[in-house]
Structure 1
Amino acid sequence: MPSTHKALSAITAALALALLASCASTDAAFTYTVPQQPEGASGYTDKPGWSTHTFAVAAANPLATDAGYQILKAGGSAIDAAIAVQMVLTLVEPQSSGIGGGAFLLHFDGRAVEAFDGRETAPAAATETLFLKPDGKPMAFMEGVVGGRSVGVPGTVRMLHMAHQAHGKLPWAQLFAPAIALAEQGFKVSARLNTLLAAEQALRKDPVALAYFYDPAGQPWPVGHVLKNPELAQVLRALASSGPSALYQGPVAQAVVDKVRAHPSNPGLLSMADMAAYQPKKRAALCSDYAAQGRSYRLCGFPPPSSGAIAIAQTLGILQHTPAGTLPLADGLPSAPWLHLYTEAARLAFADRAQYVADPDFVDPPAGTWMSLLEPSYLAQRAQLIGAQSMKVAKPGVPGATKTSYAPMPNQPEYGTSHISIVDAQGHAVAMTTTIEDAFGARQMVKGFLLNNELTDFSFAPTDASGTPIANRVQPGKRPRSSMSPTLVFDQATGKLLMSAGSPGGALIIHYTGKTLYGTLNWGLNAQQAIKLPNFGTTNGPTLLEQKRFPAATVDALKAMGHEVRELDMTSGLQAIQATASGYFGGADPRREGMVMGD
């Protein structure tokens, strides 16, 4: 058992039992104990990684990780633990995810991988002009984000309920006990939440959020302040006793709709009918083969409307047709020649992403299948475009010799998100990435939780200059394209689970997750070492490097190869759990406050 758990002390079992007794349908077999509440770091805190034998859970906040740990300890499944983790994250990491947002969940039941799609949807009244100003030009990004306009129908709760019906072991109501207890008793404001609140301006304009997150003087609650959320506790109790209908129908749904539609300057279109009609989807996971260091792997990720699995598999697949595999780390860091090859491959992948990927219920894949983008012959052809000098901006390819009728989507900001990786005592695994999009979402708080701004993941411009439609434009009932990249890795020969991984970070999720996969599979690093590597990437523009992490010689060498280099904060929030000979080894990102626990 990790020492982090040994350090956690509990309040009395009687209090825990009392809390559980008041949560309808809860069996006293699971008694949640509130741990000491650490004040997680906001900057960079080195982490050792965690070894476990039987099960492991990795999440973005210690309280959330502990909730999942206690569920697994009580005999819960990986799905059970994921639900408990998500509910606590709604409370303690409200800037990133919650019951007001959406999620993609990959699950391995020992035999097959399933993909549960809880992505938000556009309201029925939405049109492709949603983010156009009266003059017909697209809004500035933040003009679209703040208010009701950007709020999609939240999907996380209904998706988790679908997954629980298939793979839950503990009763649904029990899984809410940790979040209810913490919401009622309070949790300590972490350094990360305090830092983000201090920098945030738009959230203060919502009177409900201002009263909750800030003191009477308008300052964010200090680190260590005990923050209680009785309104959220009440919603969670209703969800525990009544299931998802407590969110999608009735007074909570009405409060969400009223908040969206009554925004004073930027109202939205969400309706009660939209809320009631939302349905999660079960999709086929997108799996592809990958070879590294003489071993063959099966990489399983999320299909469209996520672009993550395709872009990662394309980038890694293109690299296999270059000398990248012969280039080791240089003094523990990716070298300039390797970074050149990687970012060129990524430009090609991101060009295809902008051209083709959108909600598959609205947009057909090129050549009739998304796998056309991963055909070895197509990736080999794309790799031939990589030369000694950077192409700077790549153009999309034509897989299967089938031209598309869509225009490429222009680059647009993407933010937010949290990632959860879990392996339970049966070896069943979850990789779940969950989001409300931008930090603090639409900056609208209802009943103790924040609403998403997920509709800004659509293209603000519905067409290009010539009037050709963009695949990822707004349409009623459509799910916006995502970069979320929950990933499960298997040994191709035996089918054995090797790793669960993923990260927050907007479009850069693709690179953060890809870095971790490459570091473990190609460079032989453990999960923590791979996560710790400096971040890098491109969205088919400048080459991005995590600032102060690469030597000047690397930057200069990339510039000499024609790269426009920009050094910036690249705050990933990676979590990964990998199988070992004796159990599991988990890693959590030193750039955030996450941790791993298990027995």
Structure 2
Amino acid sequence: MFHRFAGFTVVLLLVACSTSTRFQYRPPAESLQAPEAASGFVVKPGWQSSRFMVAAANPLATDAGYQVLKAGGSALDAAIAVQMVLGLVEPQSSGIGGGAFLMHYDGQRVQAFDGRETAPAAATPELFMKDGKPMPFMEGVVGGRSVGTPGAVRMLELAHRQHGRLPWASLFAPAIRLAEEGFLVSPRLASLLQTPDARRLLEDPQARALFFDAEGKPLAAGTRLRNPAYAASLRAIAAGGSAALHTGPIAEAVVARVRGHTNAGGLNLADMASYQAKVREPLCFDYKRWRVCGMPPPSSGPLAIAQMLGMLAQRDLAAYPPVPREFGLEPSAEAVHLVSEAGRLAYADRGRYVADPDFVPLPGGSAAALLAPDYLRARAARIGERSMGRAEPGDPLAARAALADDRSPELPSTSHISVVDAQGHAVSMTTTIENAFGAQIMAAGFLLNNQLTDFSFVPSENGKPVANRVEAGKRPRSSMSPLLVFERDSGRLAMTMGSPGGSAIINYVAKTLVGMTDWGLNAQQAVALPNFGSRNGPTELEQGRVSPELIAALQARGHEVRSIVQTSGLQAIQRTDKGWFGGADPRREGVAMGD
């Protein structure tokens, strides 16, 4: 059922070319476009369907995927339509100027598609060093310096060649029409345009004209926003495939903006033209009665989750279910303690060992050493009754002395898409331009990523190289954790899930997976559960959604507790006796739809 492999020969003919199915997009009623407040927690019911389902971070994007599925499209077709609309209506989070990781299940095998951005050929390990010191983080973010070669479109094209049913061009119709006719700015986009960081968009002529009025005020929620430049780019890509983005006028516009910025970058036309999406061997692991498959490195997410659950496999997490509170379910102190301690250990290994495996292989050349039962048992033995505070990396295969730790931050502006089609095929895709509004420069109607700031700003420490240092052609480490979950005995698809959230993605997805597998929560309940965990620092609890009693219980066990805003954007779909049940994060504007 689960076939692992390193690569495959690309099928040259589009599957969609042989189908006679036609897809005609109809924009939904505008009441669908702004369903909730810009921030805060809005209770959602979850959604049941019998045949297919799609969950995404914006109702217009979800509806585009729903219409594709209803017209007979595949899960992959729906994901493409959703992504193109998200690039319009949620431009701060993802788009064709960024990258993505995609897990696909075709009823027989699981594939891991890597569309992560790459560093330009001109990039050096000192890219973010200044006067012998790492430059201030936002100085590295804003401008061309941080822009990597985008990979999302080329990855989607590669996947569509194998798994598309509808013609490639038809999948761009929803986003093109909405871009040309306009959509109502959502409360979330409007609120993000009012943040201090978004003011830097005023320095970019294209972004200023799109997101601000003539007086320089950010567009208010409910304002109609049209983006004809984005529509023109999508028309070109619909007609010419990814080559229309990676070569020709669009590529020239991207390179000109990157190299012409006051904080110029090294991206050039050769970088754009030579980008290759990859198919990597999925990282699959067993957890109790489940088989979980996710992205391998350069994502650190599924590997860290596998380590956490491997350490906790001998603990009876089911014995510590969430407890009812006036604000909803709250995780128990014992569960938060165990998951946070396992997280400290996993994040410590992540910081030492995980990077683009084409440049820096994992110890032993695969994930096996970091997931070896004896190694995880030894790591788990460090989890006691009191918090360890900060964990040190482990020492699989005596690899520890060779590398220094990476402490680079990872920003949370990302989006996740979960889809299951009528044939039971599934997609779990996490997609990003990194920071809110990326590098805060636009070209051809879309924002460019700042993904290179996911590399370590410091290339080495004490003479030891950092695994995640900048190198030409390298893909920066990520925490994106798109997962597909199967029943281990039957092999049936059981769940698809993922989240945005920067380095906290690992904890968000782990929480949701534990909620659905150990605690018997449905997708909506697990997604809505308060976020918690540790990134090998303080124990982080979602601000305003936990009780003083939980905080006190953790402090009594030695935890340094920090209550912070944790705006995940989880989307999850699970199999039920009636078909499929979808959950969308109550912290954002997403919904699930299906028939």
TM-score band by shorter chain is: over 0.9
Structure 2 distance, partners of 1:359, 1:79, is 25
Q: Given the alignment of the two structures, is residue 550 of structure 1 paired with residue 546 of structure 2, yes or no?
A: yes
Q: Given the alignment of the two structures, is residue 437 of structure 1 paired with residue 434 of structure 2, yes or no?
A: yes
CA offset digits 1:25-56 (Å, max 9, x no partner): 99882110011132132222110000000000
SS of the residue aligned with 2:129? coil
Q: Higher mean Cα deviation, 451-460 or 319-328?
A: 319-328
Cα distance change on mapping 1:456 and 1:26 into 2, 3 Å: farther
Q: Which of 304, 307, 310 in structure 2 is aligned with 1:311?
A: 304
Cα distance change on mapping 1:156 and 1:548 into 2, 3 Å: same
CA offset digits 1:217-241 (Å, max 9, x no partner): 1111111111000011111000011
Question: Is the CA contact 1:351–1:394 (under 8 Å) kept in the aligned structure 2?
Answer: yes
Q: What's the CA shift for 1:364?
A: 1.4
* Aligned counterpart, 1:517: 513
Q: Which of 457, 460, 464 in structure 1 is aligned with 2:457?
A: 460
Question: Is the CA contact 1:68–1:84 (under 8 Å) kept in the aligned structure 2?
Answer: yes
Structure 1 distance, partners of 2:48, 2:397, is 45
* Aligned counterpart, 1:333: 330
* Aligned counterpart, 1:383: 380
Structure 2 distance, partners of 1:406, 1:203, is 38
Q: What's the CA shift for 1:586?
A: 0.3
Q: Higher mean Cα deviation, 66-75 or 35-44?
A: 35-44
Cα distance change on mapping 1:90 and 1:359 into 2, 3 Å: same
Q: Which of 530, 533, 545 in structure 2 is aligned with 1:537?
A: 533
Q: Given the alignment of the two structures, is residue 207 of structure 1 paired with residue 202 of structure 2, yes or no?
A: no
Output aligned runs, 1:156-175, within 5 Å. Answer: 156-175=152-171
* Aligned counterpart, 1:19: none
Q: Which of 36, 40, 43 in structure 1 is aligned with 2:35?
A: 40
Structure 2 distance, partners of 1:498, 1:460, is 40
Q: Given the alignment of the two structures, is residue 567 of structure 1 paired with residue 563 of structure 2, yes or no?
A: yes
Question: Is the CA contact 2:102–2:429 (under 8 Å) kept in the aligned structure 1?
Answer: yes
Structure 2 distance, partners of 1:401, 1:324, is 32
Output aligned runs, 1:205-354, within 5 Å. Answer: 205-264=203-262, 266-291=263-288, 296-322=289-315, 324-331=317-324, 332-354=329-351
Q: Which of 573, 580, 591 in structure 2 is aligned with 1:577?
A: 573
SS of the residue aligned with 1:149? helix
Output aligned runs, 1:364-383, within 5 Å. Answer: 364-383=361-380
Output aligned runs, 1:22-37, within 5 Å. Answer: 29-37=22-30
Q: What's the CA shift for 1:411?
A: 4.5
Question: Is the CA contact 2:21–2:72 (under 8 Å) kept in the aligned structure 1?
Answer: no
Q: Given the alignment of the two structures, is residue 473 of structure 1 paired with residue 469 of structure 2, yes or no?
A: yes
Structure 2 distance, partners of 1:77, 1:477, is 32
Q: Which of 110, 128, 132 in structure 2 is aligned with 1:131?
A: 128
Structure 1 distance, partners of 2:453, 2:587, is 26
Letter in 2 for 1:93: E
Q: Given the alignment of the two structures, is residue 146 of structure 1 paired with residue 142 of structure 2, yes or no?
A: yes
* Aligned counterpart, 2:12: none
Structure 1 distance, partners of 2:84, 2:367, is 33
SS of the residue aligned with 2:484? strand
SS of the residue aligned with 1:414? coil
Question: Is the CA contact 1:58–1:588 (under 8 Å) kept in the aligned structure 2?
Answer: yes
Q: What's the CA shift for 1:563?
A: 1.3
CA offset digits 1:495-550 (Å, max 9, x no partner): 00000000000001111111110000000000000011001122111111101111
Structure 1 distance, partners of 2:413, 2:401, is 31
* Aligned counterpart, 1:361: 358
Question: Is the CA contact 2:44–2:586 (under 8 Å) kept in the aligned structure 1?
Answer: yes
Q: Given the alignment of the two structures, is residue 69 of structure 1 paired with residue 66 of structure 2, yes or no?
A: yes
Structure 2 distance, partners of 1:411, 1:553, is 33
SS of the residue aligned with 1:33? coil
SS of the residue aligned with 1:99? coil
Letter in 1 for 2:106: D
Question: Is the CA contact 2:408–2:455 (under 8 Å) kept in the aligned structure 1?
Answer: no
Structure 1 distance, partners of 2:82, 2:361, is 35
Percent of aligned positions with the same letter in both sequences?
A: 61
Structure 2 distance, partners of 1:219, 1:27, is 48
**Any unmatched runs of 5+ in structure 2?**
1-16
Q: What's the CA shift for 1:379?
A: 1.0
Structure 1 distance, partners of 2:19, 2:91, is 25
* Aligned counterpart, 1:498: 494
Output aligned runs, 1:4-23, within 5 Å. Answer: none
SS of the residue aligned with 2:252? helix
Cα root mean square deviation, aligned: 1.5
**Any unmatched runs of 5+ in structure 1?**
1-23
SS of the residue aligned with 2:291? strand
Structure 2 distance, partners of 1:27, 1:109, is 21
Question: Is the CA contact 2:201–2:440 (under 8 Å) kept in the aligned structure 1?
Answer: yes
Structure 2 distance, partners of 1:29, 1:323, is 51
Cα distance change on mapping 1:26 and 1:423 into 2, 3 Å: closer
Q: What's the CA shift for 1:402?
A: 4.2
Question: Is the CA contact 2:102–2:113 (under 8 Å) kept in the aligned structure 1?
Answer: yes
Letter in 2 for 1:39: A
Structure 2 distance, partners of 1:362, 1:227, is 42
* Aligned counterpart, 2:590: 594
Q: What's the CA shift for 1:408?
A: 1.1
How does the TM-score come out when normalised to structure 2?
Answer: 0.94
Structure 2 distance, partners of 1:344, 1:172, is 46
Q: What's the CA shift for 1:338?
A: 1.7
SS of the residue aligned with 1:201? helix
Question: Is the CA contact 1:25–1:241 (under 8 Å) kept in the aligned structure 2?
Answer: no
Structure 1 distance, partners of 2:414, 2:202, is 21
Question: Is the CA contact 1:321–1:383 (under 8 Å) kept in the aligned structure 2?
Answer: no
CA offset digits 1:418-444 (Å, max 9, x no partner): 000000010000000000001100000
Question: Is the CA contact 1:420–1:502 (under 8 Å) kept in the aligned structure 2?
Answer: yes
How does the TM-score come out when normalised to structure 1?
Answer: 0.93
Structure 2 distance, partners of 1:177, 1:366, is 46
